[in-house]
């Protein structure tokens, strides 16, 4: 066959399929190069990283036409050996990696030997370099990976200069889109700014070709804050707090994070996230999202933070090869690391908030000063935090801004229960659990004014613009909307939210994979054992009921998998559950009950009813019920006594003997309750504000109840 003949042959009436041909190598290389060097800014990043790898202490960047005409990066690093110049720009030539195993431990920034080569396929590359002790340097140009001429001796200053001209000259479409899209120069400036914040011992400059002034100019310094101030300005630095966290004792994943994050006073339109992992400038979308989430939940007004973060991990724990430009990385134990960082940030924000409250109080007290002193100082007081405060009538010195998180109950509760120690065995605990499982028992507060919530629109307004204050008890949380306080039934709200989400995401769920397949039959039997309604039936009957339900679910497996991502395999094992709310997993103690409800309560023969009933079952399962172990705080700790008599006899036990407490159970309960509290504040409330469409009935069924108006309360205090 003639491999070079590209034309389809016409034989009689039929047309032969076009022949598959091998692309010319240079075309392949050009395509691959386009992957690595996607835009001028990615070329700049690669070149600067090479300079840093070469130990440079000065790196200068010059750019013309957003990098399309010219990119020039000069450094004072160790230079390139004359003998290496011929293969410098071949693909997969690198001084940083010699065997596959090195990939695991390599510490430098680029190491696949692709960057320079790629540039020669999509642009004209000229390198000038000199190594230590040489009298003169060399200059050489490259095309398609090879030298265009022998290296020419030339005068040179210490280090290397790489010049890339006419980037994408041979990729018409790419060049056009780049020309039409915004100039890449701001991106380049952004990259250099980030490098300058991290590599504080290196001095960077970045300018447009022909411009006398550099747009970034950083001098080597010993202070990170100086570096940030230099690039991002003093106003940013003023609102930063230092953060540090590590987990050295965990053994398998030693990681360290250090950096600066903005506090409540930093307000910006966009998040700035400068992330270095093992000294490489990278993106880690999962981490960025998690941080945004913490800020949105903790400081909604300052929800677009400035973050500089440097993470160090054993290099074998970072996979930089998931992305062609090494921009996005994935980490071993990523979820755990993110969780630790999230918690550290949250704690920091909370403590820096306290500082802010203190400042505000100091200023507010000046509002009480005699009028003449006020006058002298002017009626407007500039707070040290940078906020302006008008002279305020005393009656309004309450937290009226619903988005101001200061004053949440949470902070007052810290450590309240942690020192208490108690016990009781699981059977007695379970008895108490039964009563707590039913949220109706929680009781509606005595004083309420339902009128204010009576319209669906009014209720939606409250939901959208409220602030979380704290938990009032196991079932109710307090929220503030303007100057009104409301009690919200967490169970009802979460059930409705999950129900609505289940319907919204219908046919489109992500999945939670169970760590082990769970046999439906076992789950159903467990549920039946717990179910009071069927507790009279004997074991054989229970087994029958379980079998029937298991069959029903197996028969409908395909449908529930497709619609709700509830995956049941052919052997009747539950394999996957849907993600109803991101970052949220339901309480698996309730899985048996859920499976039983799916079998018992879902209407299978009417499609619409089927969706509704299945979504209701999901809503109930994913709702934030109180954990199965009773709340150990306050007198609840009595339930964790090993001595059962304290439960059944009804005698009052005043003193709690430490030895008498089931520590393990207590610890488990404390974790479950504090996790729930965290989830309510950081997952349920933000999601509720975003997604919940509260049905009107919630205004009257005790789900939302107004308990106080702060102005009225103030009036009462005034009279006292
Ligand atoms: P990689 O950085 O993955 O090794 P590159 O294509 O970016 O691949 O660079 C190839 C090699 O060229 C590097 O390994 C390094 O030895 C050398 N090199 C590139 N730029 C410089 C520089 N500015 N100074 C010194 N050596 C350099
Ligand atoms: Mg490189």
Q: Point out the ligand nearest to the CA of residue 94.
A: 1
Q: How far is the CA of 50 from the centre of ligand 2 (A)?
A: 5
Relative to the CA of 108, which ligand 1 atom is closest? 2
* C-alpha–C-alpha distance, residues 165 and 340, integer Å: 45
The confidence score (pLDDT) of residue 246 equals: 87
Q: How far is the CA of 184 from the centre of ligand 1 (A)?
A: 23
Q: Give residues (CB < 6 A) around ligand 1.
A: 46, 50-51, 54, 75, 77-80, 88, 93-96, 110-117, 160
Most confident of 102-106, 136-140, 518-522, 649-653: 136-140
Residue 520 contacts residue 554 (beta carbons within 8 Å): yes
Q: How far is the CA of 160 from the centre of ligand 1 (A)?
A: 10
Q: Quick one: which H or E segment has residue 712?
A: helix 710-719
Number of Cβ atoms within 10 Å of the Cβ of 373: 9
Ligand 1: which residue has its CA nearest to atom 8?
Answer: 113
Structure tokens at 576: 């996957």
Ligand 1: which residue has its CA nearest to atom 21?
Answer: 50
Report, as an integer, the average pLDDT of 375-395: 37
Number of Cβ atoms within 10 Å of the Cβ of 226: 14
Q: How far is the CA of 348 from the centre of ligand 1 (A)?
A: 40
Report, as an integer, the average pLDDT of 421-433: 38
Report, as an integer, the average pLDDT of 655-661: 64
Report, as an integer, the average pLDDT of 430-442: 37
The confidence score (pLDDT) of residue 685 equals: 87
The confidence score (pLDDT) of residue 253 equals: 53
| Residue 45's pLDDT band (cuts 50, 70, 90) | very high
Ligand 1: which residue has its CA nearest to atom 9?
Answer: 113
Q: What is the pLDDT of residues 546-584, one digit of tens each?
A: 999 999 999 999 989 988 989 999 899 999 999 888 778
Q: How far is the CA of 96 from the centre of ligand 1 (A)?
A: 8
Ligand 1: which residue has its CA nearest to atom 2?
Answer: 110
Does the pLDDT value for residue 328 go beyond 50?
Answer: yes
- Ligand 2 ion: nearby residues, β-carbon < 5 Å: 50, 110, 115
Structure tokens at 415: 């450590």
| Residue 673's pLDDT band (cuts 50, 70, 90) | confident
Q: Point out the ligand nearest to the CA of residue 116.
A: 1
Report, as an integer, the average pLDDT of 618-632: 90
* C-alpha–C-alpha distance, residues 657 and 366, integer Å: 49
Report, as an integer, the average pLDDT of 609-616: 91
Question: Which of 57, 94, 321 gets mutated to test ligand 1 (max ligand atoms within 8 A of its CB)?
Answer: 94
Relative to the CA of 46, which ligand 1 atom is closest? 7
Does the pLDDT value for residue 174 go beyond 70?
Answer: yes
Residue 119 contacts residue 164 (beta carbons within 8 Å): yes
The confidence score (pLDDT) of residue 320 equals: 55
The confidence score (pLDDT) of residue 383 equals: 35
Structure tokens at 692: 């919940």
Ligand 1: which residue has its CA nearest to atom 16?
Answer: 95
The confidence score (pLDDT) of residue 454 equals: 59
Ligand 1: which residue has its CA nearest to atom 7?
Answer: 115
Does the pLDDT value for residue 451 go beyond 70?
Answer: no
Relative to the CA of 95, which ligand 1 atom is closest? 14
* C-alpha–C-alpha distance, residues 510 and 497, integer Å: 17
Query: What are the two backbone dihedrals, phi and then psi, of residue 45, each rounded to the nearest 5 degrees?
Result: -60, -45
| Residue 357's pLDDT band (cuts 50, 70, 90) | very low
DSSP state of 66: G
Q: How far is the CA of 367 from the centre of ligand 2 (A)?
A: 60
Does the pLDDT value for residue 478 go beyond 80?
Answer: yes
The confidence score (pLDDT) of residue 536 equals: 60
Q: How far is the CA of 149 from the centre of ligand 2 (A)?
A: 23
- The distance of Cα 656 from the centroid of its chain, to the nearest Å, equals 41
The confidence score (pLDDT) of residue 554 equals: 93
The position carrying tokens 């550099």 is 214
The confidence score (pLDDT) of residue 192 equals: 97
- The strand pair at 203-208 and 58-64 is best described as parallel
Kindly compute the dihedral angle of the four CA atoms of residues 584, 590, 591, 597, in this order, to the nearest 10 degrees: -110
* C-alpha–C-alpha distance, residues 128 and 113, integer Å: 18
The confidence score (pLDDT) of residue 651 equals: 46
Q: How far is the CA of 128 from the centre of ligand 1 (A)?
A: 13
Q: Point out the ligand nearest to the CA of residue 125.
A: 1
Q: How far is the CA of 312 from the centre of ligand 2 (A)?
A: 20
Report, as an integer, the average pLDDT of 685-695: 86
- Residue closest to 186 by CA, chosen among 86, 326, 75, 39: 39
Report, as an integer, the average pLDDT of 64-71: 94
**DSSP line for 219-252:** ---S-HHHHHHHHH-HHHHHTEEEEEEE-GGGSS
Ligand 1: which residue has its CA nearest to atom 19?
Answer: 50
Relative to the CA of 109, which ligand 1 atom is closest? 2
Structure tokens at 633: 């705080």
Ligand 1: which residue has its CA nearest to atom 11?
Answer: 94
Q: What is the mean pLDDT of the chain?
A: 76
Q: How far is the CA of 77 from the centre of ligand 1 (A)?
A: 11
- The distance of Cα 711 from the centroid of its chain, to the nearest Å, equals 38
- Residue closest to 480 by CA, chosen among 414, 408, 395: 408
- Residue closest to 629 by CA, chosen among 580, 677, 667: 667
The confidence score (pLDDT) of residue 467 equals: 86
Most confident of 358-372, 374-388, 533-547: 533-547
The confidence score (pLDDT) of residue 438 equals: 37
Q: How far is the CA of 50 from the centre of ligand 1 (A)?
A: 5
* pLDDT > 90 in the chain, percent: 34
Question: Which of 42, 51, 53, 163 gets mutated to test ligand 1 (max ligand atoms within 8 A of its CB)?
Answer: 53
Report, as an integer, the average pLDDT of 77-103: 73
Relative to the CA of 77, which ligand 1 atom is closest? 24
Does the pLDDT value for residue 137 go beyond 50?
Answer: yes
Q: What is the pLDDT of residues 202-260, one digit of tens each?
A: 999 999 999 999 999 999 999 999 999 999 999 999 999 999 998 765 555 588 999 99
* C-alpha–C-alpha distance, residues 242 and 224, integer Å: 10
């Amino acid at each position: 066959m003639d491999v070079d003949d590209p034309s389809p042959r016409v034989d009689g009436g039929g047309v032969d399929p076009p022949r598959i041909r091998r692309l010319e190598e240079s075309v392949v290389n050009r395509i691959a190069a386009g992957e690595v060097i996607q835009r001028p800014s990615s070329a700049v990043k690669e070149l600067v990283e090479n300079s840093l790898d070469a130990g440079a202490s000065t790196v200068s960047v010059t750019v013309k036409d957003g990098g399309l005409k010219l990119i020039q990066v000069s450094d004072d690093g160790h230079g390139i050996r004359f003998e290496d110049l011929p293969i410098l720009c071949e693909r997969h030539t690198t001084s940083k990696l010699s065997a596959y195993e090195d990939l695991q431990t390599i510490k430098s920034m680029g190491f696949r030997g692709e960057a320079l080569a790629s540039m020669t396929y999509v642009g004209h590359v000229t390198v000038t370099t000199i190594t230590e002790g040489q009298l003169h340097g060399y200059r050489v140009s490259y095309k398609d990976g090879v030298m265009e001429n022998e290296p020419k001796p030339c005068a040179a200053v210490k280090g290397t200069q790489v010049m890339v001209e006419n980037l994408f000259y041979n990729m018409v479409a790419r060049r056009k889109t780049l020309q039409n899209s915004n100039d890449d120069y701001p991106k380049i400036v952004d990259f250099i700014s980030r490098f300058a914040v991290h590599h504080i011992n290196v001095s960077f400059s970045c300018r447009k070709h022909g411009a006398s002034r550099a747009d970034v100019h950083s001098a080597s310094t010993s202070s990170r804050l100086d570096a940030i101030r230099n690039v991002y300005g003093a106003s940013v630095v003023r609102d930063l707090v230092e953060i540090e966290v590590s987990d050295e004792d965990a053994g398998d994943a030693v990681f360290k994070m250090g950096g600066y994050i903005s506090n409540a006073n930093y307000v910006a339109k966009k998040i700035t996230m400068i992330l270095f992992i093992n000294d490489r400038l990278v993106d880690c979308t999962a981490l960025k999202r998690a941080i945004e989430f913490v800020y949105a939940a903790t400081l909604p007004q300052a929800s677009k933070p400035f973050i500089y973060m440097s993470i160090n991990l054993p290099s074998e724990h970072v996979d930089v090869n998931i992305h062609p430009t090494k921009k996005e990385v994935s980490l071993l134990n990523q979820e755990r690391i993110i969780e630790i960082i999230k918690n550290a940030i949250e704690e920091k924000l909370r403590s820096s908030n306290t500082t802010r409250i203190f400042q505000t109080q100091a200023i507010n007290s000046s509002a009480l000063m005699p009028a003449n002193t006020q006058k002298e100082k002017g009626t407007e007081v500039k707070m040290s935090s940078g906020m302006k405060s008008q002279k305020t009538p005393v009656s309004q010195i309450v937290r009226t801004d619903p988005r101001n998180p200061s004053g949440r109950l949470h902070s007052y509760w810290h450590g309240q229960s942690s020192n208490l120690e108690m016990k009781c065995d699981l059977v007695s605990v379970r008895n108490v659990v039964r009563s707590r499982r039913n949220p109706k028992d929680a009781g509606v507060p005595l004083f309420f004014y339902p009128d204010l919530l009576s319209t669906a629109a009014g209720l939606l307004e409250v939901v959208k613009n409220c602030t979380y204050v704290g938990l009032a008890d196991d079932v109710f949380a307090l929220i503030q909307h303007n100057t009104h306080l409301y009690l919200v039934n967490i169970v009802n709200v979460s059930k409705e939210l999950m129900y609505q989400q289940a319907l919204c995401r219908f046919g489109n769920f992500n999945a939670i994979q169970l760590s082990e397949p769970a046999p439906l039959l076992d789950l159903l039997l467990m549920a039946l054992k717990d179910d009071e309604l069927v507790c009279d039936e004997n074991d054989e009957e229970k087994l029958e009921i379980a079998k029937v339900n298991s069959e029903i679910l197996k028969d409908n497996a395909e449908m529930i998998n497709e619609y709700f991502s509830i995956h049941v395999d052919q052997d009747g094992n539950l394999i996957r559950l849907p993600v109803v709310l991101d970052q949220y997993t339901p309480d698996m103690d309730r899985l048996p009950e859920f499976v039983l409800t799916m079998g018992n309560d879902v209407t299978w023969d009417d499609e619409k009813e089927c969706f509704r009933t299945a979504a209701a079952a999901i809503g109930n399962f994913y709702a934030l019920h109180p954990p199965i172990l009773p709340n150990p705080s306050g007198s609840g700790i009595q339930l964790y006594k090993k001595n059962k008599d304290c439960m059944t006899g009804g005698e009052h036990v005043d003193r709690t003997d430490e030895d008498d407490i089931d520590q393990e159970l207590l610890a488990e309960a404390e974790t479950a309750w504090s996790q729930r509290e965290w989830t309510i504040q950081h997952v349920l409330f933000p999601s509720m504000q975003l997604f919940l469409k509260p049905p009107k009935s919630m205004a009257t069924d005790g789900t939302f109840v107004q308990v106080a108006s702060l102005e009225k309360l103030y009036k009462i205090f005034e009279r006292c």
